[in-house]
A and B are shown apart, each in its own frame.
Chain A
Amino acid sequence: MNRRKSLIGVACLWGIGILAAGTRTHAADPDTRQLTDAAGRLVTIPAGVTRVADPWHANNSVVLMLGGADKIVATTAQAQNQPWFRRLYPRIKQVPAAFNAAGEVNIEALIGARPDVILMAYDGTLPLWTGAVSAYRVPIVMMPNRSLAELKTTVHMTGEVLGESESRVAAEYLRYFDDNIRRVTSVTSKLKSLERPKVLHTASAGVLTVDGRQSVIDDWITIAGGINAADVVGLARPVTMEQVAAWNPDVIIVGTAPNQQNRQAILDDPRWRQIKAVKDGRVFVNPSGVYLWDRHSAEAALQVLWAAKTLHPAEFADLDVGKETRNFYEKYFHYALSDDELNSILHAAPP
């Protein structure tokens, strides 16, 4: 645990360093620029980036949101298989999936796609293929992904890498994100600890796993005025049914596809019947769109609103999550959602 904590500490320091120093410094060569990535490395990238490889499933949705999706030349099968991503950006199906689920690369497919730069999530180690790729002089920009603050850093960095117009969208998005957080915390920061419901966020159903502390999920639960019931560290941790009963959460949020079916499985299972959330009818499915709202995604900006409204419906009676969602998709994905489509996203159903 100590090692993990120190890693997170180091990652935070880098994050602060990146924000404080500003990522961009001009290199001597006018055709290139340099930035410091989350691994603390000074990375030289072309001045104008037109081709990016994105082996990070979640970050593909960030690139789409920033308006840079046409630059994606290599992606992952997981990103291609997100039903709403495919609906909003059909070209993703034609982009070669050079990376597999485990983040391993087909090096020939990757090099064949001729990327200017590779965007990758940094969890404390460089990917195993770093050496192989650097032999082809393709720069890899590592970006952090352990918290909402780091998600914001990643959006900023992704914009920086992609170019001027994407940077402008990133700045606008981050303002919107911060406004949403402020809007929610202005209410939830006044809540006493007894008024904060204990929230259990499940990550898979066939084998019961839950999302614990030090994660994006823990962050938005706290912002939305809840307490993460899962007293474990990290995402998708296996826990016993008995431990769930001991935590006795006030609210359960089902975060796995097919969410509706998994929610029903909880409601039908006698072992869950005495859990407070089930007795009170407070078992919800997490919305899911271009990416899973609850995780590292562009829609995390909407997730804080949805979570606040879900945990504290009375306090946020004037908050219209549907309207916010419609505006967000219109503005960032240039897609007008019909009523049915909006409803599907809010209930984590495919289009």
Chain B
Amino acid sequence: MRRSVVVAMIAAPLALLYASLFVGRFTVAPAEVARILWSNVYPIAHDWPASVETIVMQIRLPRAVLAMFVGAGLAASGSAYQGMFRNPLVSPDILGVTAASAFGAAVALLLSRNALELQVVAFTFGLAGVFFTYLLARVYRATPVLMLVLSGVIVAAFFSALLSGAKYVADPESKLPAITYWLLGSLNAASTRSLAMALPPIIAGSAGLMFLRWQLNVLAMGDDEARSLGVRTEALKAGVIVCTTLITAASVSVCGIVGWVGLVIPHLGRMLVGPDHRALLPMSFCIGATYLLFIDDVARTATVGEIPLGILTALIGAPFFAYLLRKTRGTWQ
């Protein structure tokens, strides 16, 4: 990669992160944001109201950081899966993690659990869902790609049915709207505490994918070719699945279903740096962070109420992707 590309891909999310701290329904000047941030590192006189500090440090910063890591993690997961499954239509929820997490969240909402308990339950269900898929797909100590995909479809269908059941019994005055909004995706639950729970799995999973990224190039050639080159394909696939599942389950459990990011950002990355996973994964990671952060800024700023993320990621992303697709005529593959 050219140095200018590397600089831009790292600088863009960080610049947007700073901008996100003074964009919102509540006006805070950029300079004031800088002073508030600085005061957390170096003691200076507090000449701003405590409420402004709460908004910047407790509400906006956790939310923006979460948006970045969720976007980055989902995009990196999508890239890894598209390589591993050798299919550009694959997204991180192919093994049923999203459906299982969503059911877990709906159960937590039905039982009136608080946001943190919801996160734990949804995360656990997500991991369990993928675990079932993996068990189901395993034949003769191998997990063929086709078996994985079909098992994922089965597990997802099963949990989707359970989710519908949960919605069916939910109280329509309060529980049903809560479940519905949760499923549409939102980062409003972001707080320092939810961040402390969501970031470790996302970071661990992303680090794992970065570590495995050159082996993904080999895996993308197919199981047999990869094996003949001396790659332990089963262990590698299991590693990729563990990493992406950690990321996706942690993301879904804290912000609901955010579609499209994991499907499309990898394509954007391929347009910019080509299909080599060594460059593609970091690139997807950075674009994903920037993209979801931008979308979330729109979601929380555009109207008095909150616009669900799932609507915006597709509504803004789809036309943009259509434009790129026409412009490049799909030749980046």
Contacts and interface: CB of A to CB of B under 8 A. Distances in A.
B325 interface: no
Nearest to B108: A206
Contact of B171 (A101, A232, A261): A101
Contacts, number: 132
Interface in A214-261: 231-232, 235-243, 245-246, 248, 255-258, 261
A239 B301 CA distance: 11
Interface residues of A, number: 45
Contacts of B175: 204
B39 interface: no
Contacts of B53: 274
Contacts of A135: none
B193 to A, nearest CB: 8
Interface stretch (B145-153, B180-188, B214-222, B231-239): B180-188
Contacts of A295: 173
A57 interface: yes
Contact of B114 (A100, A205, A292): A205
B51 A245 contact: yes
B188 A238 contact: yes
A207 interface: yes
What range describes how many residues of B lie at the interface? Answer: 35 or more
Interface stretch (B96-104, B241-249, B302-310): B302-310
B55 interface: yes
Nearest to B109: A206
Contacts of B168: 100-102
B188 A240 contact: yes
A269 interface: yes
Contacts of B300: 240, 242-243
B128 interface: no
Nearest to A256: B174
Nearest to B170: A101
B60 interface: yes
A257 B173 CA distance: 11
Nearest to A104: B168
B112 A242 contact: no
A310 interface: no
Contacts of A270: 54, 58, 191-192
Nearest to B169: A101
Contact of A242 (B26, B50, B109, B308): B26
A271 B54 contact: yes
A200 B60 CA distance: 21
Contact of A238 (B169, B170, B181): B181
A265 B114 contact: yes
Contacts of A246: 25-26
A50 interface: no
Interface in B81-113: 108-109, 112-113
Contact of B115 (A77, A206, A243): A206
A236 B179 CA distance: 12
13 contacts: A78-B173, A102-B168, A206-B109, A206-B182, A207-B182, A232-B304, A235-B173, A238-B186, A238-B188, A241-B63, A242-B60, A256-B174, A271-B54
Interface of B: 24-26, 50-51, 53-55, 58-60, 63, 108-109, 112-115, 118, 167-179, 181-182, 186, 188-189, 191-192, 300, 304-306, 308
5 closest A-B pairs by CB = A274-B51, A204-B178, A274-B54, A236-B177, A246-B26
